[in-house]
């Protein structure tokens, strides 16, 4: 069954033939292939380290997000009890945006965990194949005539070559995914930095860029619900309830 | 027949299973052609399951695969360039 049409099988086959065409003399091919195998094994180890680093970064970001959620919630309450509903709304919008982001982060962390596991398995598999290849070529050399040995060894080299190409593919996909996540994590960090949540009091009527970006993935109704709930809680709990019904504060909080 | 799941490993499929795989493969091409993403993933999952049910090749077996399935985390977009014409398996 030769006519494989899939892109991935073509990619793998192409890499194998490139690997084997490298040298005319089969014994050279062997040495070259063996060197490549060891090189690749090193790369896989590096790839695993990258994935672990990315995972740790995302976990750290998760913690920061969780802290920000608590902080924004407190700030929204404070703003509301001071009668500044607009400000409370902004804080809740940001909180919702960060909560959405948190859900995505959880998924990404577990995806990276999968990647890590997969690459670790691959590394083991590759190691076994390399060992097998090394002993097989010695056995073949000892058992067969030179011409026959050439054929058999190049068969074995194709097998191990396919494994190598496949490890390469697994690596590439892991790296691509990790890069995507890093880029996304970086963008969120920038967003956070630009929004410096400490400065909520300085936000007036006009909304800045960050607010608009945040609103894109904020569900308004969720914010409305939370605001209403918070109002009810504050209204029930404190004596200054009447003040809060007033909707928009006159001052607007802008400077 | 030796089948590799790209980025996973190699398995030795019986003729019966190979025939079944070919049927799923052809159906997957139809699903891709129809733009039916859910149906495609369902079929692709069945293909992976079928192959994973077969005995895997030992670490010291150095054999080329007859068929290479795309990686399990294949997206529908990527599937467009995999499952076309006769699919992964001719016929």
* A5-50 per-position pLDDT tens digit: 566 777 777 777 776 665 566 566 667 777 877 888 888 888 888 8
Number of cross-chain residue pairs from A and B with Cβ atoms under 8 Å apart: 92
Put simply, the answer to whether A5 touches B86 (Cβ < 8 Å) is yes
Per-residue tokens: A232 = 């009810």
CA distance B8 to chain A (A): 7
Q: In this model, does residue A255 exceed pLDDT 60?
A: no
What's the pLDDT score for residue A25? 63
Of A1, A136, A169, the CB nearest to B62: A136
B71, B6 Cβ separation under 8 angstroms: yes
**Cβ-Cβ contacts under 8 Å, B83 against chain A:** 6
Contact between B82 and A155 under an 8 Å Cβ cutoff? The reply is no
Tell me the two tokens of residue A196. 């410096």
For A157, residues 6+ apart whose C-beta sits below 8 A from its C-beta are A20, A26, A29, A30, A33, A133, B62
Q: What is the pTM of this model?
A: 0.67
Looking at mean pLDDT, say which of A117-131, A239-253, B65-79 comes out highest.
B65-79
Residue owning tokens 């936000």: A203
All residue ranges of chain B with pLDDT < 50 are none
Rounded distance between C-alpha atoms, residue A171 and residue A177, angstroms: 10
C-alpha torsion angle, residues A143, A146, A151, A153 (rounded to 10) = 60
Point out the residue among A8, A122, A162 whose CB comes nearest to the CB of B70. A8
The rounded distance, in Å, linking the Cα atoms of A187 and B4 is 37
As given in the structure block, the two tokens for residue A107 are 């998924």
Q: Return the SS3 of B57.
A: coil
At residue A128 the predicted structure's pLDDT band, cuts being 50, 70 and 90, is confident
Query: Lowest mean pLDDT: which of A101-110, A122-131, A139-148, A209-218?
Result: A209-218
Q: Specify the pLDDT at position A208.
A: 53
């Amino acid at each position: 069954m030769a006519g494989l049409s899939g892109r991935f099988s073509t990619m793998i086959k192409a890499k194998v033939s490139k690997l084997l065409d490298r040298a005319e003399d089969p014994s050279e091919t062997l040495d070259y292939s063996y060197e490549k195998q060891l090189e690749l094994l090193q790369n896989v180890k590096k790839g695993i380290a990258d994935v672990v680093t990315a995972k740790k970064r995302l976990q750290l970001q998760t913690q920061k997000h969780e802290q920000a959620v608590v902080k924004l919630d407190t700030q929204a309450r404070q703003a509301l009890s001071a009668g500044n509903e607009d400000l409370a709304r902004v804080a809740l919008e940001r909180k919702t945006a960060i909560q959405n982001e948190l859900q995505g982060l959880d998924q990404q962390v577990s995806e990276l965990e999968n990647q890590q596991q997969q690459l670790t398995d691959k590394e083991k598999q590759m190691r076994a194949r390399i060992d097998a290849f090394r002993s097989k070529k010695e056995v073949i050399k000892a058992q067969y005539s030179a011409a026959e040995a050439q054929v058999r060894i190049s068969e074995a080299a194709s097998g191990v070559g396919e494994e190598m190409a496949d490890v390469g593919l697994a690596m590439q996909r892991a790296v691509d995914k990790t890069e995507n996540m890093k880029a996304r994590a970086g963008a969120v960090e920038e967003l956070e930095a630009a929004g410096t949540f400490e400065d909520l009091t300085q936000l007036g009527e006009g909304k800045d860029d960050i607010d608009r970006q945040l609103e894109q993935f904020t569900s308004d109704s969720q914010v409305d619900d939370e605001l209403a709930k918070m109002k009810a809680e504050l209204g029930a709990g404190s004596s200054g309830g009447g003040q809060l019904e007033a909707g928009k504060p006159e001052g607007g909080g802008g400077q | 027949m030796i089948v590799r799941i790209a980025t996973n490993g190699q398995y030795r499929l019986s003729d019966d299973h190979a025939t079944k795989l070919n049927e799923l493969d052809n159906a997957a091409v139809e699903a891709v052609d129809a733009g039916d993403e859910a149906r495609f993933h369902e079929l692709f999952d069945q293909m992976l399951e079928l192959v994973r049910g077969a005995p895997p090749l030992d670490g010291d077996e150095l054999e080329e695969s007859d068929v290479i399935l795309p990686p399990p985390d294949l997206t529908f977009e990527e599937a467009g360039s995999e499952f076309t014409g006769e699919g992964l398996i001719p016929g």
